[in-house]
């Protein structure tokens, strides 16, 4: 029987095979043949690969102004010379803000980067979100709340990668604001969600969503008893990303419930399922929930992965379950991990404009 080389196989079969190969391996395969290089760069293949490839997810960690994929330093954005302030992600692409108020988009897998130029200038307290529309057009949302503590007007604009420019949406009058401690949004299915507060501070936090297709905001319906429960943290699941929230009872402050949104409509209507309940009184080791996104939900192992308090010994991360708390130590006790985000490598190209 005559053996066939993979390059001689029908293209649809080659696509099916390559779409199941890890992204890091495909980057090396680009130089094998011109045919594969063209195929791997196609948007349709990148989309199929993101759906089919092994989902060996990594964790993005922001430590002392440096971005890490577990232990892999992102040298592609000259990470030793640029101080990264915040990190946002969508489909394996990263949007980073710098300490000197610049924006850069990076694909750590393909080593692509793109610096995003401002329409006028960026401000220190701007709020950003990175997402895509239903037709897979990537966009950046920039918001200027003017005053975090007394916001009435919201000035916002959209960066469109197709036009390579910012488009001013305008100013809106709203009854909510996004506190600085929760201004890192969570990206799920191309849309972004935050913990927001009402202007009068009477009803605690709620989940606010931004739809990149309609370019509009919507308040997400919540589970549980709003009179006795308060949301204090927002996150995403590790596999099959979904929004999840952590609530604390006003009556029992040491009792925490974690909920996962099974569906969220564009109108904000949502269905929720309780994932985990934790009684902190039963845990003998402390852990930290703060600053918006600071934990990951691992559905398979039914645990939370939380960043540690940098002033408590050298504890770097906590793995928290219903009746356990495992501490992960780091050799450098001075390093602070201010962000923990799930990351899956991708072949999606950054549109340069």
CATH of the domain at 311: 2.120.10.30
Number of domains composing the chain: 2
Q: What are the tens digits of pLDDT across the range 210-220?
A: 999 999 999 99
The average pLDDT across 171-190 equals: 83
Packed helices 34-41 and 11-18: angle between N→C axes, nearest 10 degrees: 70
168 plus 31 within the same structural domain:
no
Asked whether residue 352 is assigned to any structural domain, the reply reads no
Beta strands per DSSP E along 99-227:
103-107, 112-116, 127-132, 138-144, 153-160, 165-173, 176-177, 186-188, 191-198, 205-211, 216-220
- Phi, then psi, of 281 in degrees rounded to 5: -65, -25
84 plus 46 within the same structural domain:
no
Higher pLDDT, 196 or 240: 196
The closest of 307, 279, 278, 185 to 236, measured between CA atoms, is: 185
Give dist(CA 160, CA 163) in Å, integer: 6
The DSSP code for 265 is -
74 plus 33 within the same structural domain:
no
Asked whether residue 350 is assigned to any structural domain, the reply reads no
Asked whether the predicted pLDDT for residue 205 surpasses 50, the reply is yes
Tokens found for residue 217: 């905001």
122 plus 209 within the same structural domain:
yes
- Cα–Cα distance list, 296 to 190, 248, 269 (Å): 18, 17, 23
Higher pLDDT, 316 or 276: 276
163 plus 48 within the same structural domain:
no
Look over the chain and give the mean of its residue pLDDT values, rounded to a whole number. 75
Rg of the chain (C-alpha set):
21
Q: Give me the domain span that covers residue 140.
A: 55-343
pLDDT of residue 254: 72
Q: What are the tens digits of pLDDT across the range 278-327?
A: 776 665 555 555 545 467 777 777 777 776 554 455 555 666 766 666 66
Asked whether residue 281 is assigned to any structural domain, the reply reads yes
């Amino acid at each position: 029987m005559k053996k066939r080389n993979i390059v001689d196989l029908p293209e649809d079969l080659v696509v099916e095979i390559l779409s199941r190969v890890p992204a890091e391996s495909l980057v090396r395969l680009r130089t094998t043949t011109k045919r594969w290089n063209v195929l791997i760069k196609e948007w349709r293949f990148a989309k199929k690969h993101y759906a089919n490839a092994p989902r060996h997810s990594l964790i993005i960690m922001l430590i002392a102004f440096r971005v890490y994929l577990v232990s892999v330093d992102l040298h592609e954005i000259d990470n030793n010379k640029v101080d990264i302030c915040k990190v946002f992600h969508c489909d394996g692409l990263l949007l980073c803000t710098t300490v000197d108020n610049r924006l850069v988009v990076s694909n750590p897998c393909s080593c692509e980067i793109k610096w995003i130029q401002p329409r006028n200038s960026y401000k220190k307290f701007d709020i950003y979100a990175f997402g895509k529309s239903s037709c897979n057009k990537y966009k950046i949302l920039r918001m200027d709340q003017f005053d975090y503590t007394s916001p009435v007007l919201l000035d916002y604009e959209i960066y469109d990668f197709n036009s390579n420019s910012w488009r001013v949406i305008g100013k809106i009058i709203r009854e909510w604001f996004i506190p600085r401690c929760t201004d890192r949004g969570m990206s799920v299915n191309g849309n972004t969600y935050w913990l927001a507060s009402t202007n009068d501070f009477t009803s605690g936090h709620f989940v606010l969503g931004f739809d990149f297709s309609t370019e509009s905001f919507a308040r997400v319906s919540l589970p549980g008893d709003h009179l006795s429960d308060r949301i204090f943290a927002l996150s995403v699941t590790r596999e099959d990303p979904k929004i999840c929230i952590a609530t604390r009872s006003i009556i029992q402050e040491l009792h925490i419930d974690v909920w996962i949104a099974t569906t969220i409509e564009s109108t904000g209507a949502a269905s929720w399922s309780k994932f985990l309940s934790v009684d902190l009184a039963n845990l003998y080791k402390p852990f930290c929930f703060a600053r918006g996104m600071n934990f990951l939900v691992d559905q398979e192992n039914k645990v939370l992965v939380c960043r540690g308090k940098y002033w408590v010994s050298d504890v770097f991360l906590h793995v928290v379950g219903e009746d356990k708390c495992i501490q992960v130590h780091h050799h450098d006790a001075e390093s602070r991990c201010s962000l923990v985000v799930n990351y899956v490598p991708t072949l999606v190209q950054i549109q340069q404009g």
